[in-house]
């Protein structure tokens, strides 16, 4: 072989080696990408929806805050607590049915209410409280 053939073959071999080695690193990157996607699917039920564990945390924290807020204005805290727990947990479960990941993060980590949570709260409160009978008011002047 003369110098001309070596100068031509050497760059071709280097290029071939680069392609082969580049292909191997892409496989590793693809496997890492697939693993990342699978772990993302475990944390999120659907794109944008909070996972079940995040929803459970949301329900617990929302219910506790709701009950505490309602008990502040209560005159008879012992009797009202059970009713508030039932109503607040119903509202929290109803909100969490389609809880967005962003809303859950802002509520649980940043302690912020989003506009979407406000809207869902109004809908959930109506759903959970509409069938409840209101306590009887005072009996005034012979009217029932």
In whole angstroms, give the CA distance from residue 15 to residue 125. Answer: 67
In whole angstroms, give the CA distance from residue 46 to residue 32. Answer: 21
* CB contact at 8 A, 95 and 120: yes
Nearest in space to 94 (alpha carbons), one of 48, 135, 62, 136: 62
* CB contact at 8 A, 129 and 87: yes
The pLDDT value given to residue 1: 54
The pLDDT value given to residue 39: 44
Total number of residues shown for the chain: 144
pLDDT tens-digit series, residues 21-54: 555 544 554 555 544 444 444 444 445 888 888 9
């Amino acid at each position: 072989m003369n110098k001309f053939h070596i100068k031509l073959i050497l760059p071709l071999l280097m290029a071939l080696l680069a392609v082969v080695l580049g292909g191997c690193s892409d496989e590793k990157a693809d496997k890492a990408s697939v693993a990342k996607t699978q772990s993302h699917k475990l944390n999120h039920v659907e794109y944008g929806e909070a996972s079940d564990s995040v929803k459970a945390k949301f329900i617990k924290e929302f219910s506790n805050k709701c009950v505490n807020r309602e008990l502040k204005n209560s005159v008879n805290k012992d009797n009202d607590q059970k009713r508030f727990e039932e109503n607040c947990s119903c509202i929290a479960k109803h909100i969490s049915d389609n809880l967005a990941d962003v809303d859950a993060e802002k509520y649980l980590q940043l302690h912020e209410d989003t506009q979407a949570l406000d809207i869902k709260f109004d809908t959930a409160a109506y759903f959970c409280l509409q069938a409840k009978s209101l306590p009887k008011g005072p009996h005034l002047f012979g009217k029932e």
